[in-house]
Structure 1
Amino acid sequence: MKKFISIFLVLAMVFSLGACAQKTEAPAQTPAETPAAETPAAEPSAEEPFAGKIAIVTNTLSQNEEEYRSAQQMVEKYGDKKIMHVLWPDNFMTEQEQMISTITKIGSDPEVKALIINQAVPGTNAAVDKLLETRDDMFIAYCSPQENPPDVVERADLILQPDELGMGSTIPEQAQKMGAKTFVHYSFPRHMSVVLLSARRDLMIETCKKIGLEFVDATAPDPTGDSGVPGAQQFILEDVPKMVEKYGKDTAFFSTNCAMQTPLIKACYDAGAIYPQPCCPSPYHGYPSALGIESTGYSADAMANVISETAKKLKDAGLLGRFSTWPVPVAMMNTVASTEYAVKWINGEVGDELDTKVLEELMTEYANGISVKTNTYVENSAEYPTFRLIMMDFLTYSEEDII
């Protein structure tokens, strides 16, 4: 099933959406141990949902709660004897050897039939290369990869990522629909060295020019720099009011970094500005913590409650119609859909060639019937059918969302 993989490791791009994180009060988790290599492969029983196990690798709870929780949902559904939830090290950028060790341990268990990685942070390719030296019989899915797309395709059977390039036009257009006259883009050199993020910014500039928005390219501190996440967040809290004072309340703000979303939402809320979308689209991403909303879980009812409470807060501030996101947490959807697809692959319900129709049906099921479509990633006229780019319609908070 796997293509031949070169033994040369691919240098990781200096990028981290894991540093781009939703902070919680929970302590950092430590990677779970996987069973030893001696563990014999068990014979599947008729009652089992699938033979063997599926390993899901996520960032820690303190790095990205949505990814962590989505893996836990799969553990709750299938049980910890079928789903192995393993964690990347918190400081994965400086702990590449531990990443390799984590994936190698997973591969040493012959019962593991599929590997889901969310996020596929820098260093994932090198870790998977070690796995593929001994295992070429495993279904591998990458979610939100941060390494060179053609190299990623050589290693993974399924790649899922929000359509970053498509957002180059949809986010400014959404901002204009909400009344924006100016569009402020916060990022930093490390993120702008990532091909997709840099290309998206260029498309945003082009779209703003086309539709008549003033584009402001603003540099923020890197959360992995000397000032850390607190320094980057404080910068956003202090800079947004200055931008609003300069350009007016009809200014839309966007940041490429997850850790900046909570202060960005809070600052936009306080200043009465416009916020078209988090970097990782989701009703949970930044909104509850920024607006003081208690989240009671990730079920359909819990999600509807979070959306309703967010709309109430915005209504109280007279800001309905000026804040939006996607209607479901895309990071969680990616874990769930790729895991469910892996189950079908293990059970022989899909073959080695990616069945896009089945994949999109699984996503739509997760999204409670909201249609989810994917596009093929294209680079330099080369198409990569297993690399699926996700796009959804916006949820613009309104009276209709209040229950």
Structure 2
Amino acid sequence: MFKKGFLLLLTMMLLVVFTGCGSSTTSGDAANASKKVKIGIMTNTVAQNEEEYRAAEKMVKKYGKDVILFKTTPDNFMKEQETTIANMLAFAADPDCKAIIMCQAVPGAAAAFEKVREVRPDILLIAGVPGEDPDMVAKKVDIVLNTDELAMGKTIPAQAKKLGATTLVHYSFPRHMSYPLLAQRRDIMKVEAEKIGLKFVDATAPDPLGDAGVPGAQQFMLEDIPRKINEYGKNTNFFNTNCAMQEPLIKATLDAGGIDAQQCCPSPYHGYPGALGIQIPADKAGDVDYVIGEIKAKLAAKNGTGRFSTWPVPVTMTFIEAGVEYAKDWAEGKFTERNNKEILMQKLSAAAGTKIEAQTLTTTDKAGQEVVLDNFYLILIDYITL
């Protein structure tokens, strides 16, 4: 009750700040108002997913703390959604904050964006990798960025078979299977795997937000993958929907001689450096080619060449970096549309260092009619075999 009361009080205070003084502001005051542009970034903590966190740090380093406002969601974001909302409202409390980028947009993000809209309808809102109903999130923000989860339901089995797999093990847990896109992708993956001759195994892993936490979930992967290899053989591809479990998945798969076509968030940085003991020197930070070279060398040393693959760019990091550049140009008046696909694609391609294509998400309403979410972009990039 205290938290709810606090949020209500904070919201009322913000309303006074942004609307209560409006009647006394003259045109001269408006002309002399601060033109400083600030951009808020909210990511997971390092424990949940390091990539987004490091991308935000990179933007802070590039533009400075006086331009980039950086906060994280709580580790246990499912139980602390009030904290996520309060942190988002703290961004909105700064009148110079013109945009907010949240990646990953974990459960609770939609409510947080809604609260920001109530007090600051002028702020540009960008959500990356949403964990809630796509239609609901799309209505709360200006732009949604996500990997093309549904298309991956086909591309992952195809890539796994290309790498020599005969079995595909899909690890997840009930919380993730409550995410519409993740559940639909699993269903598509099962159908596609069976269509191309792969045995599909639907496996349940511990939730990192459960009683055993991240360490327990990671230990499960280290222990269960060898069991699955013993049961199904070395030509088994392993996939897990959770970021925190990618390192142990890669390590255990390599040690047991299995296959890993793609991580949950495909990127050379996601799981591979930690799993393979790769130390990235300061002068190589952000050098994707260097990281890929190190990964290939480490895999080769353990006979893993040709058994692993990923996307050639860190896609969630790209979402944050491109989001900042897009938001900055919009806030500075270089273009006026909140949802400008052409400019967005330019920013994504520039941040990734390669051409990126995207399609918009099509959903079905309660009447069974197709609805195109023209601000919900699905990104898909071809694989690099390691």
Normalised to the residue count of structure 2, the TM-score between the two structures is 0.87
1:340-392 Cα offsets, whole Å, 9 max, x none, are 11112112222225221211111111222x21111101111110111001100
| Shift in Å, 1:63 | 2.7
Which position in structure 1 is the counterpart of 2:362?
378
Distance 1:260 1:176 in 2: 23
| Shift in Å, 1:62 | 3.0
| Alpha-carbon distance change, 89 to 43 in structure 1, aligned in 2, over 3 angstroms | farther
Distance 1:367 1:81 in 2: 25
Among 364, 367, 376, which residue is 1:387 paired with?
A: 376
Distance 2:235 2:225 in 1: 12
| Shift in Å, 1:171 | 0.4
Normalised to the residue count of structure 1, the TM-score between the two structures is 0.84
Query: Whose radius of gyration is greater, 1 or 2?
Result: 2
Among 320, 341, 346, which residue is 2:305 paired with?
A: 320
Among 175, 195, 198, which residue is 1:213 paired with?
A: 198
| Alpha-carbon distance change, 327 to 287 in structure 1, aligned in 2, over 3 angstroms | same
Q: Answer yes or no: is 1:75 the counterpart of 2:60.
A: yes
Distance 1:91 1:235 in 2: 20
Q: Contact (CA 8 Å) 2:49, 2:244: kept in 1 or not?
A: no
Q: Contact (CA 8 Å) 2:45, 2:53: kept in 1 or not?
A: yes
Which position in structure 2 is the counterpart of 1:350?
335
Q: Which amino acid in 2 is paired with 1:377? A: L
Distance 2:55 2:263 in 1: 18
Q: Answer yes or no: is 1:242 the counterpart of 2:231.
A: no
Q: Contact (CA 8 Å) 1:180, 1:274: kept in 2 or not?
A: yes
Distance 1:261 1:42 in 2: 51
Q: Contact (CA 8 Å) 2:165, 2:198: kept in 1 or not?
A: yes
Instruction: Map 1:19-38 to 2 at 5 A.
Output: none
Structure 1: 5+ residue runs without aligned partners? 1-36, 398-403
Distance 2:69 2:117 in 1: 19
Q: Contact (CA 8 Å) 2:266, 2:315: kept in 1 or not?
A: yes
Which position in structure 1 is the counterpart of 2:95?
110
Which position in structure 1 is the counterpart of 2:188?
203
Q: Contact (CA 8 Å) 2:260, 2:308: kept in 1 or not?
A: yes
| Shift in Å, 1:94 | 1.7
Q: Which amino acid in 1 is paired with 2:279? A: E
Which position in structure 2 is the counterpart of 1:4?
none
Distance 2:265 2:61 in 1: 24
Which position in structure 2 is the counterpart of 1:175?
160
| Shift in Å, 1:104 | 1.5
Which position in structure 2 is the counterpart of 1:6?
none
Q: Which amino acid in 2 is paired with 1:383? A: V
Among 116, 119, 125, which residue is 2:110 paired with?
A: 125
Which position in structure 1 is the counterpart of 2:171?
186
Distance 2:286 2:181 in 1: 34
Deviates more, 1:86-95 or 1:278-287: 86-95
Distance 2:286 2:115 in 1: 42
Distance 1:243 1:89 in 2: 33
What is the DSSP-based 3-state SS (H/G/I as helix, E as strand, rest coil) of the residue aligned with 1:186? Answer: strand
Q: Which amino acid in 2 is paired with 1:373? A: E
Q: Contact (CA 8 Å) 1:43, 1:51: kept in 2 or not?
A: no
Among 114, 126, 131, which residue is 1:146 paired with?
A: 131
What is the DSSP-based 3-state SS (H/G/I as helix, E as strand, rest coil) of the residue aligned with 1:92? Answer: coil
Q: Which amino acid in 1 is paired with 2:177? A: M
1:162-185 Cα offsets, whole Å, 9 max, x none, are 111010000000000001111111
Distance 1:171 1:83 in 2: 36
Kindly tell me the number of residue pairs found equivalent between the two proteins.
357
Q: Contact (CA 8 Å) 1:296, 1:302: kept in 2 or not?
A: no
| Alpha-carbon distance change, 42 to 57 in structure 1, aligned in 2, over 3 angstroms | farther
Q: Contact (CA 8 Å) 2:239, 2:263: kept in 1 or not?
A: yes
Question: How big is the alpha-carbon RMSD for the aligned residues of Structure 1 and Structure 2?
Answer: 2.2
| Shift in Å, 1:161 | 0.6
1:138-189 Cα offsets, whole Å, 9 max, x none, are 1110011111111111111011011110100000000000011111111111
Distance 1:171 1:299 in 2: 30
Q: Contact (CA 8 Å) 1:44, 1:52: kept in 2 or not?
A: no
Which position in structure 2 is the counterpart of 1:57?
42
Q: Answer yes or no: is 1:287 the counterpart of 2:276.
A: no
What is the DSSP-based 3-state SS (H/G/I as helix, E as strand, rest coil) of the residue aligned with 1:180? Answer: coil
Distance 2:316 2:283 in 1: 12
| Shift in Å, 1:64 | 2.0
Q: Answer yes or no: is 1:222 the counterpart of 2:199.
A: no
| Shift in Å, 1:61 | 2.8
